[in-house]
Structure 1
Amino acid sequence: MKITPYLTFDGQARDAFTLYQQVLGGNLEMMTFAQAPEPEHFPAEHRERIMHVCLTLGDFRLMASDTMPGDPACGGAPYEGIKGCSISLHPETITECERVFDGLAEGGQVIMPLEKTFWAERFGMFVDRFGVSWMVNCEPA
């Protein structure tokens, strides 16, 4: 069994995943609501939102979509952001850890600066400019 984090955005999935691929690498697959078999089922002004996006890094995937305003999948309520979880990354070197942290945290809010801790060569936490919480952890060699 594999576990895959699935994020929901309010129109920022394309920009978020473009950044994630630039920083993390991997293979990016993206589909808009306009590309669905029956796009007329979706409001014309929202058809360029992302219906599904998947970033594949080796055996791991990060997936997402954009919600529609008033989406029943969100209880019909306004979008409230991504809450209650963090994506944890584990680069193998300090250099890679710093590059990933800096690249994803740019324009966001650093919660804990990347620094040496008693359990890791580097650890830091931030919320990126799209509202996604991240932890970056480089364990001792």
Structure 2
Amino acid sequence: MLEIYLNFKNEATEAITFYETVFNTKCEAMMTFGEAPANPEYPTPESWNNLVMNASMNIEGTYVMFSDMPDGMGVNLEKGNNVSLVVSTDDEEKIDRLFARLSEGGKVIMPLGETFWSKKYGSLVDKYGINWMFNHFAENK
């Protein structure tokens, strides 16, 4: 499954509200950074607590996800590079293969690994400047 991920500079909530009215749809799920499980290895500043870590909605039959990318996250976010394509699958070998191929000549942002939301997740920018995310959607154990 291929999905779309939109990143914002501290205005994801505003964008979600706008797209809900434009497309007459509702945000299906939203988690703020403050609602996410704490990770002592990657503490988040208190100022991020009300920012969107992940949200999703169906826009015209396509699953679209949203997130804020606040300053200090290490991402040089600009309008134009704030869209990512997401490969979501329960096929772990497929994730490994696609990640390896797309990272050739590109830049790995986050190596494939386990997270609190996914058995395997990773992100990269391919050699053409396209942002990719990979998510193993089987239950994280």
Instruction: Give TM-score scaled by structure 1 length.
Output: 0.49
Greater helix fraction, Structure 1 or Structure 2: 1
Greater strand fraction, Structure 1 or Structure 2: 2
Task: Give 1 or 2 for the bigger CA radius of gyration.
Answer: 1
